[in-house]
Structure 1
Amino acid sequence: MPFCRHELPTDTETIAAAPVESTTAAAAAVQNGSENIGLTIWRLSGSGFAVGSFLGPEGELGSESFRWCIRKWMVGLTMALRQNASWSPPPSTSLKINFDGAVFRESDEAGLGVVVRDHQGRVMASMSEKTRLPSSLDDVEAMAVVRAISFALELHLPSVIVEGDSELIISALRSEEESFTSFGHLISFIKQSFGSFSCISFSHTRRSSNSLAHNLAQYARHVDALTVWMEDIPPQLHHVLVTDFG
């Protein structure tokens, strides 16, 4: 079967490319003929930026310039909010599978959470699984992505984007080299399944963009072993689904 894989841009890379690092407002001005152009950049809480501009002859701010400033500021704010939005949908030709792991040290157990959504944010399937606690958190994340891939195979999904918030796991899956970590055998198992998909890619995201999978992993403490919901999630997590799509 044809196989494709490509690296998607990460939220971390997007944030790193932002022009401002200070958490306070910054202003810059350049001289353009007889007009002064001002630019103000606000750092939003968490991440993302809002941009406002003003224009006026010799620095004077007229009413039309003020309206222009507000329009530019709103455009910048909208872009910043979109950048800071939680979950981002896949293309219409693919499904996105988010995964995450959770640790329950009090019971020496771990939780695995997986959710499959389409380009409109609709849940195709979700699952929570409770299992024995492995030796490290990275191993928990590796077990979660194995469960995500197995879930996709069981559902016969042809084209998927697999997304998680563990940069170490996503990097290992993208790498052409063999992994010699404690979870290396799990990475090898996943790579052997690549041929079962017409297209599979891996995306690293922030925890805030992975909240539904995270909550499904946490919800695993309330299930006996493995619980699957088709076209749904646990009722207790419906509010997470609503807010997760930004």
Structure 2
Amino acid sequence: MPLNTKHCWNATNIPTVIGESNSFGDWLQLVFSQINLKSIQMSNMVCWMLWKNRNDLVWNLTFLVVSEVLNTTLSVLNQWRFVKDKTFDHTLGLLNLEDGRTKWQAPSMNRVKVNTDAVLFDNPSRYCHAQVVRDHNGKLVEAMSHCYLGSVSPELAEVIGIREALSWVKNASRNDVVVETDCLTLIRWIRSSYITMSYLGRVMEDRRRLLVGLQEQNVMLRFVKRSANSVVHYLARYNFSIADCTWILENAYSEFDYTVCIDSKQ
């Protein structure tokens, strides 16, 4: 059922029934005269999302429900505020209490944790991503690195890394898995319902569907700070000249094994 605009405005708690007006512009000015700056920003973003949702319905026969419109509105608004105000807390919006860890933490009993990261290089242009899987004792289960020639955006490189991490979970038929990345933009995009027709947007949507398909395996995606993702960052950077490589505990080279042990004991 297409979105009910009135229900969407009611959910924002912004007063919209104010006096009489002959046009949308007049109505909007009346609303602005009765609310504060943050509510004005929210009103502008809601108008934009409703307009976009209407166009998606007309041209693509797709639409968002009220909760999806509001979640996407808040996410985009938070990102805009962060760009405009460097004192704004960019960890707000679509994040939860489990996000933002500054140190690597072992998963709970019988779970595994997959950390993923990507690194870009110049001369020649190439990008590498890696995944490190550890168990509840912090011991290495498996690690993978992949390196490709070519130039891509940092976001696309991170998305490819997430795909590899989720593919590993699916192919290994693992349950109870935590996947961690230090790419905040990626986390917000996957968790939101925002869809863009760009190439990156289509790739993101594919990853979102893959994650949804793994819900029965209890797979969780989390954001961590770079300091909690240092081992996989090291692996992606160290192996920039290797096309594809996989390690397990028994054949991991000594320097990497030492790095994992130190990080797991912090």
For the Cα contact (< 8 Å) 1:134–1:140, is it kept in 2? no
Structure with the largest fraction of strand: 1
For the Cα contact (< 8 Å) 1:128–1:228, is it kept in 2? yes
- 2:113 is paired with a residue whose SS is strand
Unaligned runs of 5+ residues in structure 2 are: 1-94
Aligned length, in residue pairs: 168
Label 1:8 to 1:230 Cα distance change in 2 as closer, same or farther (>3 A).
farther
Shift of 1:117: 1.0
Corresponding residue for residue 203 of structure 1? 222
Q: Which amino acid aligns with 2:98?
A: P
1:1-246 to structure 2, matched below 5 A, reads: 7=96, 9-11=98-100, 86-180=103-197, 182-193=199-210, 194-196=212-214, 197-223=216-242, 225-231=243-249, 233-245=252-264, 246=266
Q: Which has the higher contact order (CA 8 A, sep 6+)?
A: 1
Shift of 1:88: 0.8
Label 1:153 to 1:179 Cα distance change in 2 as closer, same or farther (>3 A).
farther
- 1:183 is paired with a residue whose SS is helix
Q: What is the CA–CA distance in structure 2 between the aligned matches of 1:122 and 1:94, rounded to whole Å?
A: 12
Structure with the largest fraction of helix: 2
Label 1:149 to 1:234 Cα distance change in 2 as closer, same or farther (>3 A).
farther
Which whole-Å deviations, capped at 9, do the CAs of 1:47-87 have from their partners, x for residues lacking one?
xxxxxxxxxxxxxxxxxxxxxxxxxxxxxxxxxxxxx6x31
Label 1:234 to 1:187 Cα distance change in 2 as closer, same or farther (>3 A).
farther
RMSD of Structure 2 on Structure 1 (CA): 2.1
Percent pairwise identity? 23
Unaligned runs of 5+ residues in structure 1 are: 1-5, 13-83
For the Cα contact (< 8 Å) 2:133–2:140, is it kept in 1? yes
Q: TM-score, normalised by structure 1?
A: 0.62
Label 1:123 to 1:145 Cα distance change in 2 as closer, same or farther (>3 A).
same
Q: Which amino acid aligns with 2:247?
A: W
Q: What is the CA–CA distance in structure 2 between the aligned matches of 1:180 and 1:203, rounded to whole Å?
A: 25
Label 1:179 to 1:171 Cα distance change in 2 as closer, same or farther (>3 A).
farther
Q: What is the CA–CA distance in structure 2 between the aligned matches of 1:89 and 1:180, rounded to whole Å?
A: 38
Q: What is the CA–CA distance in structure 1 between the aligned matches of 2:97 and 2:124, rounded to whole Å?
A: 37
Q: Which amino acid aligns with 1:229?
A: W
Shift of 1:101: 0.3
Q: What is the CA–CA distance in structure 2 between the aligned matches of 1:177 and 1:114, rounded to whole Å?
A: 26
Label 1:138 to 1:156 Cα distance change in 2 as closer, same or farther (>3 A).
same
Q: What is the CA–CA distance in structure 1 between the aligned matches of 2:254 and 2:191, rounded to whole Å?
A: 34
Q: TM-score, normalised by structure 2?
A: 0.58
Shift of 1:203: 0.8
Q: Which amino acid aligns with 1:96?
A: K
